[in-house]
């Protein structure tokens, strides 16, 4: 990539009195193919190139980016970033400081067997079409069905005025399929692997492993069966969440509230703040002793897996919650310094090179305990099993949540009895996690969200969640 | 820009497409973000690129290149054509749209807003923060952002479509946090305009701070069905969910509520809603859609009644019903600088977008609404709203940034946030009062709305 242009930008920033500067140069390929109701509804490739210059002048940030990667534009954009930093200084009470970091030099590339960008479009369409038709063929009640493939390749170069030189090429792919069964105004959706899709930093072999054609018949049948399923009356019971629903619970009620920038108030006007206030660090029982949670960018299967974050910090694993106790935040060099942490968790990430890096989730993983998932069901006398996210809502402090499942099952005396529809559960984050008493080990799977939105302008960041099946006691459930 | 689009169309046809469409675009914007009463993020970005849609027989391929730094033209044309030759035919496709007469919207682009210097935004932030803190010593922190800039795009196709638009946007949002020993109180307000100088930062700062102070020490309110005064940000959530039902994609899938309530009195007769880019009250002054088709006014709700004429089409969906496009194909650029336009994907076929929704005003004021309320709540904002049922428009979310209890015609005081689970169809059936003042929000210009019944289903601790 354009190393020389990057150096030009850093040298200019230094001449213009920046005490620190970095430049990111990126080239992103995003390939999407969707089959819907028998036709190809999306077949497109988006390529996004560009760069961004971040400067610290007199303790205030300035940032500017462009898609025009030329020597002249690097000069214009660097000067603009300096001008913006000087404007920031007008309304700045405290100087920005960065936690000291060794200027790393290195490179990283996602390990893979088959590059998803080298797979023929026709071959992918054939898989999607077969799966989508199989779903649709299950019943005339299926009014809409689709199957989607996406592959993403992010090539980026980071250079800093401290001497860091990092080149990375991160590739992920995956997809989703689903349908809507409709009868007399009632709709029932069903998806596989989940509503958001399952994506991993991997080659095309990950998409193949999802086996869309093999799962399609079940998806179609389940959507239709849901039309005749029973509803839950409102009550409190033991709730078992399968991994495909637990992932969103972890994302919303553990991932976001432990982001240090939210805690420090810098997302107050958009995403919100957090109930995990500074006084809770090292003292607060977030959950039961069965709860162990890590931020782990060394888990290379997840979409938060990489070699270095956008501050140039090498990938690392950080415990956020240990035996139920809250022990650390997700942080960047800036937020760690402001809070007084000894080190950054390596969570500084920018979507595109012309976006500002923010504190973002990497892979937020819930560590399993000794159970097998079937043992959790067998051990439950009366309860509800819920699978697949249908809806999710949580407040701006990340306390009060309500999640909906595409499918539920009544559990009686250790076995799955009847299917349930429109299932909802709700709770308050710490109370809910303190009721956790079992986490399975044999279905510990990496899920990923490609579309976690945060920041202003909003950046959709991919992140991962390796989770399994877990049981929570005495949770309020009902069907809408 | 139009020249680039037309050249791309010629190139795509020369290389073997039967039909071709091309878009060239540029967005040049800046956003100054503040929190804890100081600027903490301050950015500018200039993003340009092209989109090519190639049609071979009835097969369609799309390529988008968000870059000006290499040879995007060659790459986009070749990629779109390569895809079109590989995908199976779209059985519904008949043709790209034919040209229709269009004209630009006057005063859509304000040069001062398009090229607003960072010092001007910083000074506006400073004025807003100072004014907010002057309200009370319990005002602890002020957060938000001010964005300014311009968008421009041109669309051409091989059937003769040749159209372009350029428009400026300015947006201000602020959240003021007050604290006096207990839990913090949040309040929020924002405004949009085509012109930066229309945004009154100090008075927005003052009003938001006053509401934040009023929100301190909330009491607990049991979840129940209450009368509700929906302030602009809250009303936007309710009406945006309704607006989704007017997209031809939702309508044709059978999931639109419109399908099940044609020509019925589905809403209160006081509710009238249009989508019209030429209405001077709307923000996004764009005369054409993403296919270069002139945007038409569509009457979405007329005195509470919806009909087949309420549906918004692009050329792809219109042809399936033997109708004409209403000019509602997704624009290549986002409706504000809150979302980067590079992420805006375009499907090979259809994607409908309503960008200029205007809800007709009533003849009331907020004070009159409060005076007419026996027992109800005033809602500033709904947060993290999840659709539970598409056909009934049942949504669950939570209140945010200020919830106040009203009893016997007076505001009693702040209450802790509540979770709601409500059908938007049900709640809009009985609207006793609508404000005469309209407010500019994301994608929608709308009044404050009072509804007789709104169902709250859960409590919070703050």
Question: pLDDT at position B344, please?
Answer: 53
Residue of A nearest to B387 (CA): A391
Least confident of A161-165, A262-266, A434-438, B44-48: B44-48
**Which residue from B minimizes the CA distance to A121?**
B86
Q: Which pLDDT score is estimated for A44?
A: 83
Please, are residues B282 and B295 in contact by the beta-carbon 8 Å criterion? Answer: no
The CA distance from B117 to B120, in Å, is 6
Of B38, B63, B394, the CB nearest to A45: B63
Q: Do B126 and A264 touch (CB under 8 A)?
A: no
Q: pLDDT by residue (tens digit) across A268-288? A: 999 999 999 999 999 999 999
Q: How many domains does chain B have?
A: 1
Enter the tokens of residue A300: 């290379």
CB of A469 closer than 8 Å to CB of A251: no
Burial class (CB in 10 A: 0-12, 13-18, 19+), B194: buried
> Do the domain assignments include residue B117?
no
Quote the pLDDT of residue B349. Answer: 56
Contact with chain B for residue A355, Cβ under 8 A? yes
Specify if B401 maps to a domain: yes
Max Cα-Cα span within chain A: 73
Residues 6+ apart with CB under 8 A from B136: B178, B209, B213
Does B270 map to a domain? no
Per the rule left: phi > 0, alpha: psi between -120 and 50, beta: everything else, A68 is beta
pLDDT at residue number B265: 96
The values of phi and psi at residue A390, to 5°, are -110, -40
Contact B83 A459 (CB under 8 A): no
Q: Are A191 and A177 in contact (CB under 8 A)?
A: yes
User: Residue B404: which domain range?
Assistant: 220-243+360-462
Search chain A and give the residue with CA nearest B86. Answer: A122
Structure token pair of residue B90 = 């779209």
What is the per-residue pLDDT across A22-34, written as a single tens digit (0 to 9) for each? 999 999 999 999 9
Q: Walk along chain B (462 residues) in steps of 10 and give the mean pLDDT of each run.
A: 94 97 94 98 94 93 78 84 89 93 96 98 98 98 97 96 96 97 93 96 98 97 97 96 93 88 96 97 94 97 98 94 94 70 55 91 98 98 89 92 98 96 96 97 94 92 72
Instruction: Kindly determine whether residue A43 and residue B87, on different chains, have CB atoms separated by under 8 Å.
Output: yes
B116, B122 contact by CB (below 8 A): no
Buried b (16+ CB within 10 A) or exposed e, A62-88: bbbbbbbbeeebbeebbebbbbbbbbb
The pLDDT assigned to A133 comes to 96
Of A172-176, A397-401, B74-78, B436-440, the least confident? B74-78
* B372 found inside a domain: yes
Chain A and chain B share a number of CB contacts under 8 A equal to 301
State residue B279's pLDDT score: 96
Q: Distance from B363 to chain A by nearest Cα, in Å?
A: 32
Residue of A73, A268, A402 with shortest CB distance to B175? A268
**C-beta of residue A328 within 8 angstroms of C-beta of residue A347:** no
Those residues whose C-beta lies under 8 Å from the C-beta of residue A310, and which sit 6 or more positions away, are A24, A158, A348, A349, A350, A357
pLDDT tens figures, A177-231: 999 999 987 889 999 998 889 999 999 999 999 999 999 999 999 999 999 999 9
**Residue of A83, A269, A332, A356 best to disrupt the B interface, most CBs of B under 10 A:** A269
Chain B residues whose beta carbon lies within 8 Å of the beta carbon of residue A480: 388-389, 394, 396, 421
Write down the pLDDT at residue B351.
78
d(CA A136, CA A139): 7
What is the DSSP code string of B16-70? T-SEEEEEEEEEEEEEEEEETTEEEEEEEEEEEEEEEEEEETTEEEEEEEE-SSS
pLDDT at residue A203, rounded to an integer: 97
What percentage of chain A has pLDDT greater than the value 90? Answer: 91
Annotate A92-130 with b (16+ C-beta within 10 A) or e (fewer). Answer: beeebebbebeebeeebebebeeebeebebeebbebbbe
Query: Hey, is A326 helix, strand or coil?
Result: strand
Is residue B302 exposed (0-12), middle (13-18) or buried (19+ Cβ within 10 Å)?
middle
Residue B345 lies in a domain: no
Could you tell me if residue B50 is inside a domain? no
Q: Does any CB of chain B come closer than 8 Å to the CB of residue A71?
A: no
- The Cα–Cα gap between B434 and B451 comes to 9
CA distance A69 to A52: 10
What is the mean predicted confidence (pLDDT) over A148-174? 97
User: Does residue A41 carry a pLDDT above 60?
Assistant: yes
d(CA A22, CA A468): 39
Mean pLDDT of chain A, nearest integer: 96
Structural domains present in chain A: 3-227 (3.30.2290.10), 231-479 (no CATH)
The predicted pLDDT at position B454 comes to 98
Cβ neighbours for A433, distance < 8 A, ≥ 6 positions apart: A253, A254, A286, A287, A288, A291, A324, A472
- Residue B366 counted as domain residue: yes
pLDDT score of A431: 97
List strand residue ranges (DSSP E) for B270-393, in order.
273-275, 298-301, 357-359, 375-389
- What 3-state class would DSSP assign to A217? helix
Q: What is residue B183's predicted lDDT score, i.e. its pLDDT?
A: 86
Any residues with CB less than 8 A from the CB of A29 and at least 6 apart, and which?
A45, A46, A47, A117, A151, A152, A153
Would the pLDDT of A47 be above 60?
A: yes
Closest residue to B122, CB basis, from A90, A267, A402: A90
DSSP string across A142-183: EEEEEEEEEEEEEEEEEEETT--EEEEEEEEEEEEEEEEEEE
pLDDT at A449: 80
Taking the CA of residue A368 and the nearest CA in chain B, the distance in Å comes to 29
Closest CA in chain A for residue B25: A67
Contact B398 A395 (CB under 8 A): yes
pTM for this model (two decimals): 0.94
Asked whether residue B107 is assigned to any structural domain, the reply reads no
Residue B57: other Cβ atoms inside 10 A: 14
DSSP class of residue B257 equals H
- Could you say which residues from 112 to 141 on chain A have a Cβ atom under 8 Å away from some Cβ of chain B? 120-122, 125, 129
């Amino acid at each position: 990539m354009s190393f020389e242009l990057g150096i030009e930008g850093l040298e200019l920033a230094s001449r213009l009195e920046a005490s620190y500067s970095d430049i990111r140069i990126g080239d992103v390929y995003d390939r999407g193919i969707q089959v819907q109701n028998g036709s190809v509804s999306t077949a497109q490739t988006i390529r996004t190139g560009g760069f961004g210059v971040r400067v610290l002048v007199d303790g205030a940030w300035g940032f500017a980016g462009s898609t025009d990667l030329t020597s002249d534009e690097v000069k214009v954009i660097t000067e603009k970033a300096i001008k913006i930093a000087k404007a920031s200084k007008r309304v700045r009470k405290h100087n920005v400081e960065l936690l000291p970091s060794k200027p790393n030099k290195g490179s990283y590339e996602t390990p893979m067997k088959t590059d998803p960008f080298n797979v023929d479009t026709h071959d992918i369409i054939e898989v999607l079409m077969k799966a989508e038709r199989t779903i649709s063929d299950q019943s005339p009640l299926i009014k809409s069905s689709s199957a989607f493939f996406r592959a993403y390749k992010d090539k980026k170069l980071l250079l800093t005025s401290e001497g860091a030189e990092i080149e990375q090429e991160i590739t992920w792919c995956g997809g989703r399929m689903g349908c809507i069964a409709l009868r007399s105004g009632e709709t029932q959706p069903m998806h596989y692997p989940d509503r958001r899709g399952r994506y991993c930093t991997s080659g095309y072999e990950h998409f193949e492993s999802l086996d869309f054609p093999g799962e399609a018949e079940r998806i179609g049948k389940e959507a239709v069966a849901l039309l005749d399923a029973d509803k839950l009356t409102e009550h409190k019971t033991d709730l078992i969440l399968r991994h495909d629903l637990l992932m969103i619970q972890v994302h919303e009620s553990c991932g976001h509230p432990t982001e240090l920038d939210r805690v420090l108030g810098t997302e107050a006007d958009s995403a919100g703040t957090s109930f995990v206030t500074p006084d809770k660090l090292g003292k607060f029982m977030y959950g039961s002793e069965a709860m162990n949670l890590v931020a782990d960018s060394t888990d290379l299967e997840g979409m938060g897996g990489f070699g270095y974050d956008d501050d140039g910090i090498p990938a690392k694993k950080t415990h956020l919650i240990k035996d139920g106790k809250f022990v650390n935040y997700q942080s960047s060099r800036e937020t760690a310094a402001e809070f007084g942490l000894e080190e950054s968790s390596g969570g500084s990430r920018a979507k595109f090179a012309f976006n500002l890096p923010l504190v973002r989730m990497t892979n937020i993983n819930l560590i399993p305990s000794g159970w097998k998932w079937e043992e959790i069901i067998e051990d439950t006398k009366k309860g509800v099993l819920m699978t697949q996210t249908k809806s999710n809502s949580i407040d701006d402090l990340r306390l009060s949540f309500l999640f909906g499942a595409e499918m539920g099952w009544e559990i009686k005396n250790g076995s799955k009895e009847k299917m349930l529809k429109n299932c909802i559960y709700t709770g308050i984050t710490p109370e809910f996690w303190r009721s956790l008493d079992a986490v399975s080990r044999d279905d510990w799977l990496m899920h990923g969200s490609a579309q976690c939105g945060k920041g202003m302008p909003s950046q959709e960041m991919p992140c991962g969640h390796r989770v399994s099946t877990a049981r929570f006691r005495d949770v309020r459930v009902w069907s809408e | 820009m139009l020249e680039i689009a037309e050249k791309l169309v010629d190139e795509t046809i020369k290389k073997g497409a039967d039909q071709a469409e091309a878009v060239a675009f540029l967005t040049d914007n800046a956003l100054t973000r503040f929190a804890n009463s100081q600027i903490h993020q301050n950015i500018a970005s200039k993003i340009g690129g092209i989109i090519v849609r190639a049609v071979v027989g009835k097969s369609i391929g799309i390529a988008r290149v968000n870059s000006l730094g290499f040879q995007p033209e060659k790459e986009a044309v070749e990629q779109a054509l390569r895809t079109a030759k590989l995908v199976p035919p779209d059985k519904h496709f008949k043709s790209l749209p034919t040209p229709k007469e269009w004209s630009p919207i006057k005063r859509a682009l304000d040069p001062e807003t398009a090229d607003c210097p960072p010092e001007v935004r910083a000074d506006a932030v400073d004025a807003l923060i100072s004014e907010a803190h002057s309200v009370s010593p319990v005002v602890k922190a002020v957060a938000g952002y001010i964005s300014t800039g311009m968008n421009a795009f041109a669309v051409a196709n091989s059937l003769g479509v040749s159209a372009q638009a350029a428009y400026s946007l300015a947006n201000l949002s602020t959240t003021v946090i007050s604290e006096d020993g207990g839990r913090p109180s949040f309040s929020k307000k924002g405004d949009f305009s085509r012109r930066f100088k229309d945004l009154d930062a100090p008075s927005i700062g003052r009003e938001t701070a006053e509401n934040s102070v009023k929100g301190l020490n909330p009491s607990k309110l049991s979840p129940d069905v209450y009368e509700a005064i929906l302030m602009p940000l809250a009303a936007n959530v309710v009406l945006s969910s309704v607006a989704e039902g007017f997209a031809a994609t939702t309508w044709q899938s059978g999931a639109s509520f419109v399908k099940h309530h044609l020509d019925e009195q589905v809403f209160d007769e006081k509710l009238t809603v249009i989508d019209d880019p030429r209405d001077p009250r709307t923000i996004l002054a764009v005369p054409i859609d993403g296919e270069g088709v002139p945007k038409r006014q569509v009457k979405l709700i007329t005195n509470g009644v919806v009909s087949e004429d309420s549906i918004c089409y692009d050329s792809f969906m219109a042809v399936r019903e033997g109708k004409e496009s209403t000019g509602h194909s997704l624009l290549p650029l986002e409706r504000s600088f809150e979302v980067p336009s590079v992420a805006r994907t375009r499907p090979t076929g259809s994607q409908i977008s309503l960008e200029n929704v205007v809800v007709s005003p009533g003849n009331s004021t907020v004070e009159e609404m409060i005076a007419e309320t026996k027992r109800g709540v005033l809602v500033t904002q709904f947060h993290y709203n999840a659709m539970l049922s598409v056909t009934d428009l049942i949504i669950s979310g939570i209140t945010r940034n200020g919830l106040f209890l009203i009893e016997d015609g007076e505001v009693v005081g702040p209450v802790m946030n509540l979770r709601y689970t409500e059908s938007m169809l049900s709640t809009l059936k009985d609207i006793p009062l609508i404000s005469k003042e309209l407010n500019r929000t994301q994608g929608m210009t709308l009044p404050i709305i009072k509804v007789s019944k709104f169902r709250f289903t859960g409590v919070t601790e703050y």
